[in-house]
Structure 1
Amino acid sequence: MWRSTHAVLAWLRRHSVLVLTANLVGQIGIIVTGGAVRLTRSGLGCSTWPQCEPGQFTAAIHPETSYHQYIEFGNRTLTGVLSVVAILVLLVVRTAPGRSRAYRLLGLVPIVGVAAQAVIGGVIVLLHLHPGWVSLHFAVSGALVAASLYLLHRHGEGDGPPVSVVGPRVRALAWALAGLTVMVVVLGVITTGAGPHSGDETVGYRFTVDPALVSKWHAAAVWAFVAVLAAFLFVVHRSPDAGAAAGPAAPARVAVVRRAAWLLLAITLLQGVIGYVQYFTGLPILLVGLHMLGAALLIAGTTRVVLTTRVR
């Protein structure tokens, strides 16, 4: 028994990056499947929680069965897969030799997050898709994407105190990007909840706000994000103090920051194109779903930019 446990832990340590990457991909994937539940109005495809139907955990099959049950049950199934991955992450992080207590505590985040999401999902079903809880569900998923990328990044670092590799202006712009990302995502959630894809067949608009107005606020936040990102790229390429804190390794370390910022710009531009096309084409479900995927990638990309501005 001890040898089997030792072999499993040894395998996990050898494939730790794979496990942590799978966790990040899974956290992004659950946003996509959760979006499918909302966009197809399958939020009550399973009538109860934690069971899908009274007396059984799987979707009920009968002549009146619709695809809604399978979509919601599929999302619940992915939550189960994420739970297994979260346990593996916990084992990888908690058994990592020579790592700090702070790093080991990070291993609890995925499993606690998945458990919290399961409870929130259950409350959503029991409260018949209360819009506030639906929005919280997405917000927690976004936070878990950021936390999962942070965990993957920290795995490849040491445990010393963080040391900046860029000047103060670049750091300030990076944190401004993080703040604007939160604003963009929150306004995007409100925009979706105020529009025709709010997730309920009987209540078309879950948030009683003007969808055209809130979409303009959302677009304004995106443009502010683009402006700050452009300033970030300009400063990190042109400012003489861009790598002032990096010492002799400045060129290589600042190059990592630049690559992360250019990738974030690509994600942002693609997300903007999808956003405007979906707005002017009547919000087709496929594009709205891609926009939700883009939101997850935007969160990950911004987190990556912030993390590359310092090393341990």
Structure 2
Amino acid sequence: MARTARLAVHLAARLRRWTPAILVANVVAQIGIIVTGGAVRLTGSGLGCSTWPECEPGRFTPAFHEATTLHPYIEFGNRTLTGALGVIGLAVLVVMISDTSRTWRYRLLGLVPGLGVIAQAVIGGVVVLLDLHPGWVSLHFGVSGALVAMSLYLLHRSGEGDGAPRVVVPAPTRVLSVVLGALTAVIVVLGVLTTGAGPHSGDAEVGYRLALDPAAMSMAHAAAVWTFLAALAAYLVVLHRAGGGHTDGMFRARRAAWLLVAITFAQGAIGYVQYFTGLPILLVGLHMLGAGLLIAGATRVFLTTRIR
């Protein structure tokens, strides 16, 4: 037993050399699962696998036959990425919980990705068993968004110390960073509701899954985006008028803010183009990718307002 324990400690120590790469992979995979989940929804493949956790009764993989469509393989691909996320989540747990140089508060954060994968697997099973109930489909996406934010937080924290955080931006800017985070959540929720009210709700037989006016939801979503842009502009003005422009903390805060500007404008452009071109599937899929990047960008802005 002692030899096995020593071997486990040795392997964990070697794996910790890859901590930054593992945490980056976790962020990428969490955003990737949004994209593959979007592909499932956009192609109406939510019931491509008829049961859960198996794909077909007695099989964990799709059954190939003459009448096979792409739907089972799209759904199976999304489930496969969930499995990959589970492996990454296990690696995150090992490298973080075994790092005895850090506090327990930091080390326990390593549980988050794995617990998130378990929660998403259960929600995905409920979605299938309830024939793509729109409420559960929306929850599926919401949890993915939260996991993107938490994964970005883990990556950021791994490069910090364990001391108390110290704010490096003016107080109004710190408040605006919180407002930006809240508005990001509003934008994502309204985006999910807009999709659920439109033709890409995930059900090939029903034109919508939520009894909402798609045009009204689109306008509400756009209004939230414009409000977000106004708050982001105010954040940049206050940030650039502040002193300390050459310190590392202010430089990182400004760089994160301008990156969020780029993501927001790209996401807004895609949103308007898809709206006026009849919601082509490819653009809607890119918009979902943009949602994941927007969540990560807004989280990064908040985190760069303080240092440890």
Given the two structures, how large is their TM-score scaled by the length of structure 1? 0.96
Instruction: Work out the number of aligned pairs and report it.
Output: 305
Output the CA distance in 2 between the equivalents of 1:192 and 1:264: 23
Deviation, structure 1 residue 9: 1.2
Tell me whether 1:302 sits opposite 2:295 in the alignment: no
Please point out which of 45, 48, 59 is paired with 1:45. 48
Deviation digits for residues 3-49 of structure 1 (CA, Å, limit 9, x no counterpart): 64344212211110011111111100000000000000000000000
SS at 1:107 equivalent: helix
Aligned to 1:89: 92
Output the CA distance in 2 between the equivalents of 1:158 and 1:252: 15
Aligned to 1:191: 194
Please point out which of 111, 119, 144 is paired with 1:108. 111
Deviation, structure 1 residue 63: 1.2
Tell me whether 1:154 sits opposite 2:157 in the alignment: yes
Q: Which amino acid aligns with 1:196?
A: P
Map 1:246-265; keep pairs closer than 5 Å.
251-265=247-261
Output the CA distance in 1 between the equivalents of 2:105 and 2:63: 45
Identical positions, percent: 67
Aligned to 1:246: none
Please point out which of 268, 275, 278 is paired with 2:271. 275
Structure 2 runs not aligned, ≥5 long = none
SS at 2:148 equivalent: helix
Aligned to 2:175: 172
Q: Is the 8 A contact 1:12 1:19 kept in 2?
A: no
Output the CA distance in 1 between the equivalents of 2:191 and 2:181: 15
SS at 2:204 equivalent: coil
Deviation, structure 1 residue 83: 0.2
Output the CA distance in 1 between the equivalents of 2:194 and 2:217: 6
Structure 1 runs not aligned, ≥5 long = 244-248
Query: RMSD of the alignment, in Å?
Result: 1.2
Output the CA distance in 2 between the equivalents of 1:162 and 1:204: 49
Aligned to 1:26: 29
Deviation, structure 1 residue 2: 4.9
Output the CA distance in 2 between the equivalents of 1:125 and 1:5: 38
Q: Is the 8 A contact 1:50 1:122 kept in 2?
A: yes
Deviation digits for residues 107-126 of structure 1 (CA, Å, limit 9, x no counterpart): 01000000000000000000
SS at 1:65 equivalent: coil
Decide which moves more: 98-107 or 26-35. Answer: 98-107
After TM superposition, what 4+ stretches of structure 1 lie above 4 angstroms from structure 2? 1-4
Q: Is the 8 A contact 1:185 1:295 kept in 2?
A: yes
Deviation, structure 1 residue 229: 0.4
Decide which moves more: 188-197 or 2-11. Answer: 2-11
Output the CA distance in 2 between the equivalents of 1:17 and 1:204: 44
Aligned to 1:15: 18
Output the CA distance in 2 between the equivalents of 1:271 and 1:11: 40
Output the CA distance in 2 between the equivalents of 1:203 and 1:127: 15
Output the CA distance in 1 between the equivalents of 2:11 and 2:141: 34
Output the CA distance in 2 between the equivalents of 1:56 and 1:129: 21
Aligned to 1:70: 73
Deviation digits for residues 234-274 of structure 1 (CA, Å, limit 9, x no counterpart): 1100134xx5xxxxx96221011000000000000000000
Output the CA distance in 2 between the equivalents of 1:251 and 1:161: 19
Q: Is the 8 A contact 1:183 1:221 kept in 2?
A: yes
Deviation, structure 1 residue 97: 2.3
Output the CA distance in 2 between the equivalents of 1:49 and 1:82: 18
Deviation digits for residues 44-80 of structure 1 (CA, Å, limit 9, x no counterpart): 0000000000011111111111100000000000000
Given the two structures, how large is their TM-score scaled by the length of structure 2? 0.97
Output the CA distance in 2 between the equivalents of 1:3 and 1:255: 43
Decide which moves more: 54-63 or 141-150. Answer: 54-63
Q: Which amino acid aligns with 2:29?
A: G
Tell me whether 1:213 sits opposite 2:216 in the alignment: yes
